[in-house]
Structure 1
Amino acid sequence: MRMGFRWFGEGNDTVTLDQIKQIPGVTDIVWSLHDVPAGEEWPMDKILEVRDQAAKAGLAIDVVESVNVHEDIKLGLPTRDKYIENYKRTIQKLGQVGVKVICYNFMPVFDWLRTDLHKELEDGSTALFYEKSKMADLDPFELVRRINENSALTMPGWEPERLAHLTKLFEAYKSVTEEHLWQNLSCFLSEIIPVAAANGIRMAIHPDDPPWPLFGLPRIITGQDNLRRFLKLYDSPYNGITLCSGSLGANPANDIVAMIHEFADRIPFAHIRNVRVYENGDFVETSHRTQDGSVDIAGIVKAYHDIGFTGYARPDHGRHLWGEQCRPGYGLYDRALGIMYLWGLWDAYQRGASIERGNEA
């Protein structure tokens, strides 16, 4: 397993590369060009700039998260062709600098969604929170305003230039069903997976977060059955999954350990994080420690160990600790603590397997 750390770029992150490289076992940054609008071709000079910054800190750039998919592709509009061509050219450029995995999602309009970005927990830390009862009356325009309140830092999945056309997007999606979305995703895969394969890049779709419909918009990457269907759309090792334990874990019916075993050879990238799910459907993000949430993090890490996982992983959203001023969910302290917890589990499983092999000998 290779451990990465999401980094939003020079001047767009409160965490520095020097800090990241001091976290034990971290070899990679998980990065993107957050100033390039969805659908646009990525400029090579900007790609090289990130590569050089990372190399100076001794960090690899193997995983990109995300190359965002333009809404016209998800909607299946005739204009999608030019955006798919831009996507292909971006894949080719990323292959030239050694990128191995591209994480992306196919969520209509909204990426991840929470109702509170700073919910106070019992210990005084704060975290991202989803309150189910608020969703019934929540104005999506007000939600966009709140999430983008801190304009100094970009919010992944909540790009202002796209959400400025919210009314138009909602209107466009009125006639789009889940089956339409599946068809449009299949079309997208048929175009990009051959290009990704030719450039040695594994595409890895991220599950919907949370994994259910929102504001009447369809969502299709929500659980084991749908992931199985997704992988059959284009049966190739280059068509894979970003298995996110936090997104999928918001639905207690999702058995993530079973997914790891079933989809073992199609998971190039893993997000590992914990959430505490309440009986009323609310959930809050917690520390990575198994006992602090509802997700079996210890079992998940053991599953990755048992399948011989050699892909990339990163701690996902963390709490906000010790007064840290940071992008919601993306501070330094709790994600660094999370990494050490994940390595502790991994090392324990490694040692146990080594002892077991010794006893057998």
Structure 2
Amino acid sequence: MIESWRWYGDLDPISLSEVAQTGARGIVTALHEIPYGEVWPSDTIVARKAQVTEAGFDWLVVESLPVHEHIKRGDGDLSELFANYRQSMANLAANGVHTICYNFMPLLDWTRTDLEAPVAGGATCLRFEAVRMAAFEVHMLGRRAAEGDYSPDVLTKAAAWFQRASEADRDALLASIMAGMPGAFDRYDVAGLRVALAAYEGIDRDALRQNYKRFLDEVVPTAEDLGMRLCVHPDDPPRDILGLPRIVSDGDDLAWVLAAHDSPANGITLCSGSLGANPINDVPAIAAQVADRIHFAHLRNVTKDPDGSFEEAAHLEGDTDMVALVKVLLDEQSRRRAEGRADHTIPFRPDHGHHMLSDLGRDMIPGYPLIGRLRGLAELRGVISALSHG
């Protein structure tokens, strides 16, 4: 497995020289400065690749080449957006970047209610708190249908939280939820979020699946022609949010994705944390079921609560059996190697991590500290080494 590290380019407070000290060999990055739907110019790709290469890394994976909201909603004439996506793919392939991670989550890339939840020992982590999410949906956003998405106990506690919450508490909750907005461009207040959600009215699970299949049919043939691998990231969290359907949340969903356009170019980003937040998911078992189409892996762990809350755990301490999962990935690599495949090695990155030690006083992208991820990478490196030796 190839150790890699997510880097946000010039937006990232962590420098490539610091990343080099982690021992990671590859970089996972994107052109986050380019608005969604526009073509990624070849000269901009060349410049980003030069940054990565000059620092001693390979640009292994694009994370991500975003899917425009109009495509997710199926709005109007999408020919230009699809053409732009295909051209960006071609420009990446021409510059030697052949794996693209993306997601098909409506509006929000990920959702948390607390970006600095306390962890034993003084560190902090990302947390999704069901009570606070219910308070936001029902009492701040005014989405009364949300009452059907939570248990009576959670709704009672949500009402109590809202009543005692200060304006600063409510602003902090909104800011945490908005931190999951993709890119660097859209952040909403409550009124703006209501407008954005209204654009998805009438789009249920079946409609979103239909729009997703159209996307795959438009771009997978191009990926095949270019020798590229597309790999969808699971929903985070793996449940409907804000009344928006989520369609990449469990093993059945992943099977549907792979069957929707059956091609080696249509694959999976195996994210153990996203899948692991769904209580029904046995992550190692799901990985084994889709192993031949895993093109990239995010390795992280979560600890779940009975009410639907969860938080980021240390990489080897959460609810997912990380050793069993890594063994699935190593076994799949061995199978590919036995087939004689040149692309048998699976790139992975330590995903998220606790904010700890000197990171606590430093401005970091939420979930992407230096030391917490370094700890995770070191732990995963040990698991991989032990399993490979055994």
Q: Normalization by structure 2: what TM-score?
A: 0.84
2:229 equivalent to 1:191: no
Shift of 1:175: 0.5
2:58 maps to which of 53, 57, 60: 60
1:161 maps to which of 174, 182, 185: 185
With over 3 angstroms needed to count, the CA separation of the structure-2 counterparts of 1:229 and 1:142, relative to structure 1, is farther
Please give the root-mean-square deviation of Cα atoms over the aligned residues, in Å: 1.8
With over 3 angstroms needed to count, the CA separation of the structure-2 counterparts of 1:198 and 1:143, relative to structure 1, is farther
1:146 maps to which of 166, 175, 191: 175
Corresponding residue for 2:305?
278
2:389 equivalent to 1:351: yes
Partners of 2:231 and 2:294 within 8 A in 1? yes
Corresponding residue for 2:320?
295
Shift of 1:265: 1.1
Partners of 2:33 and 2:183 within 8 A in 1? no
Corresponding residue for 1:32?
30
State the alpha-carbon separation in 2 of the partners of residues 29 and 200 from structure 1: 20
Shift of 1:226: 0.8
State the alpha-carbon separation in 1 of the partners of residues 66 and 350 from structure 2: 21
Corresponding residue for 1:357?
none
With over 3 angstroms needed to count, the CA separation of the structure-2 counterparts of 1:142 and 1:181, relative to structure 1, is farther
Q: Output aligned runs, 1:28-107, within 5 Å.
A: 28-107=26-105
Shift of 1:142: 5.2
State the alpha-carbon separation in 2 of the partners of residues 15 and 281 from structure 1: 33
Partners of 2:70 and 2:78 within 8 A in 1? yes
Deviations 1:115-138 (A, max 9, x none): 000001111100000101112220
2:345 equivalent to 1:310: yes
With over 3 angstroms needed to count, the CA separation of the structure-2 counterparts of 1:250 and 1:299, relative to structure 1, is same
Corresponding residue for 2:148?
none
The structure where helix makes up a greater share of residues is 2
Deviations 1:17-54 (A, max 9, x none): 11112222x21110011111111111222211110011
Deviations 1:85-112 (A, max 9, x none): 1101000000011112100000011110
Deviations 1:161-180 (A, max 9, x none): 34456333211111001000
State the alpha-carbon separation in 2 of the partners of residues 80 and 127 from structure 1: 39
State the alpha-carbon separation in 2 of the partners of residues 157 and 297 from structure 1: 28
Give the percent of matched residue pairs that are identical in Structure 1 and Structure 2: 40
**For structure 1, which segment, 183-192 or 77-86, has the greater mean C-alpha deviation from structure 2 after superposition?**
77-86
Q: Structure 2 unaligned runs (5+)?
A: 142-169, 334-343
Corresponding residue for 2:17?
18
Corresponding residue for 1:3?
3
With over 3 angstroms needed to count, the CA separation of the structure-2 counterparts of 1:257 and 1:148, relative to structure 1, is closer
Q: What is the one-letter code of the residue matched to 1:203?
A: L
Partners of 1:144 and 1:158 within 8 A in 2? no
Deviations 1:173-229 (A, max 9, x none): 110010000000000000101111111110000000000001111110000011001
Instruction: Tell me the SS of whatever aligns to 1:161.
Output: coil
Q: What is the one-letter code of the residue matched to 1:190?
A: D
Shift of 1:144: 8.2
Q: Normalization by structure 1: what TM-score?
A: 0.91
With over 3 angstroms needed to count, the CA separation of the structure-2 counterparts of 1:341 and 1:201, relative to structure 1, is same
Shift of 1:160: 5.5
